[in-house]
Structure 1
Amino acid sequence: MYLADEAWPDLESYFESESLALVPLGSTEQHGPHLPESTDHVIAESLAREAAARSGYLCTPTVNVGISRHHRQFPGTMWVSPDTFRAYVRDLTENLTYHGIDRVVYVNAHGGNVDALREVAKDLHADETCYALEWMWDESIPELVDDLFEHNGPHGGPKETAMLQHLTDLVHDDRLADARDGGVRDIWSAEGTNRHGAATFFDARDNSDNGVFGDQTDATAEKGERLFEAATDQLVRLCDWLAAREPEELLPEPRV
């Protein structure tokens, strides 16, 4: 069920019987020479809407711009500050609680959003506003990701490339070799990324000339379909688990 497509009487019926919502969040940022800047929010919205269609839970419109300042050197990247992002997500979530939602899954597809979403979720839980969880699609299926790709890469790599090949016709397949050769296959072994236990980089441009990591030539639409199906299954299972919890199970533990 997609909130923006429904009339208010139908939404009223949903809120009378269910109290869970999926909120997709991504980014609008560079993903190398081969992927669109919509990559993260396309993945997040596609997973959230598919999980909602399969389960009957509510999916909200997507937050398309996130915390992406570390990609700012590449043309077109958009970003907001962490403070702005946290405040916006909190307000959006409290909007849902006004209608009766008390449990939320942040369907996230951008690593830069993770810390802020978890912080918002902690605050919402601490003041008993609602129970929210940050869910990152690739972290739900790590074994499959590792099995499918030898050089995965945390950004613009084959897992995101394969997902976009499956979901859209926006991938520049003729640029996959250029993306691999102009980027870095393994960021964690790249020279200058770590000194004596400290990460010594701040921006994607510090480590990769074209902003991406991994071997993009290893991606196929068939692999993307396997990723999408497996991640959707995990998301539906998470929603079912959360919906089945009694309200008192979702409250903070009492003070010692």
Structure 2
Amino acid sequence: MYLADQTWPELSDYVAEESLALVPLGSTEQHGPHLPLSTDHTIAEGLARETADRTGYLCTPTVNVGVSPHHKQFHGTMWVDPPEFRDYVESFSRNLAYHGIDRIVFVNAHGGNQTHLREVGRRLREDEVAYAVEWMWDESITDLVDDLFAVNGPHGGPKETAMMMHLDPENVRTDELEAARDGGASDWPLDDAFVHGARNFYDAIDNTDNGVLGDQTDATPEKGRKLFEAASDQLAQLAEWLDDRRFEDLMAKPHVEPRPGSRR
């Protein structure tokens, strides 16, 4: 069920029975010479809407701009500063809770959002408003990703390329796959990326001239379909698991005994 397509009486029927929402979040940022800036939010929305159609859970509109200042040197990249991003996501999450949604899955397809979504989830749980979890699609199917691709790459690599070949093939520049591989950093991490245990980079351009990592020529639509189906299965199972939990059991555990001040 897609929230924005419903009327308010139809949504009242949903919240009378259910209390879970899928919230897709991505970015609008460079993904090399072969993929559109829409890559992350297209993947997030595709997975969330597929899972909502399959399970009947609610899917909200997609957050298309995320925390992407580390891609700022490349044309077209948009970003939100972390504090504003966290406050925005927390605000609309509290809005969902006002309507009766107390379990939220942040369906995330952008690594730059992860830490901040976890912080929002912590805030909501601390206030006992809702239980929100951040879910990153590729982290749910790591074995499959490793099986399908010899040289993966965490950004604009073959896994994202294959997913876009499946979801939005018209916007994949297949004639640029070799250029993406040869102009980027096909082997990751680079020798000087970590120095004596310290990360020696802040921006994507510090590691890759064209903004992407991995061997994009290893991507195919068939591999993308396998990734999409496997990740959708994982997301559906997560939503069902979360829906089965009692809200009280999802909240923070009480302080150990004796509690502070109990002997005064």
TM range (shorter): over 0.9
Q: Which residue of the partner structure matches residue 132 of structure 1?
A: 132
Number of residue pairs matched by the alignment: 255
Alignment of 1:68-87 (within 5 A): 68-87=68-87
Q: 2: CA distance between counterparts of 1:29 and 1:74?
A: 8
- The one-letter code sitting in structure 2 at the alignment partner of 1:245 is R
3-state SS of paired residue (2:24):
strand
Q: Are the counterparts in 2 of residues 183 and 211 from structure 1 also a CA contact under 8 Å?
A: yes
- The one-letter code sitting in structure 2 at the alignment partner of 1:221 is P
Unaligned stretches of 5+ in structure 2?
257-264
Alignment of 1:45-124 (within 5 A): 45-124=45-124
- The one-letter code sitting in structure 2 at the alignment partner of 1:4 is A
2:216 corresponds to 1:216 = yes
**What is the percent sequence identity of the aligned residues?**
65
Q: Deviation of residue 248 (structure 1)?
A: 1.5
Q: Deviations over 1:144-190 (max 9, x none)?
A: 000000000000000000000000121000000000000001231x1
Alignment of 1:187-226 (within 5 A): 187-188=188-189, 190-226=190-226
Q: Which residue of the partner structure matches residue 22 of structure 1?
A: 22
Q: Which residue of the partner structure matches residue 147 of structure 2?
A: 147
RMSD of equivalent CA atoms: 0.6
Q: Which residue of the partner structure matches residue 246 of structure 1?
A: 246
Q: Which residue of the partner structure matches residue 260 of structure 2?
A: none
Q: Deviations over 1:34-80 (max 9, x none)?
A: 00000000000000000000000000000000000000000000001
Structure 1 consecutive aligned stretches of length 4 or more whose deviation exceeds 2 Å: none
Q: 2: CA distance between counterparts of 1:213 and 1:113?
A: 19
3-state SS of paired residue (2:134):
strand
Q: 1: CA distance between counterparts of 2:252 and 2:58?
A: 25
Q: 2: CA distance between counterparts of 1:245 and 1:145?
A: 30
2:176 corresponds to 1:178 = no
Q: 2: CA distance between counterparts of 1:186 and 1:26?
A: 25
Q: Which residue of the partner structure matches residue 159 of structure 1?
A: 159
Q: Which residue of the partner structure matches residue 11 of structure 2?
A: 11
Could you say which structure has the larger radius of gyration?
Answer: 2
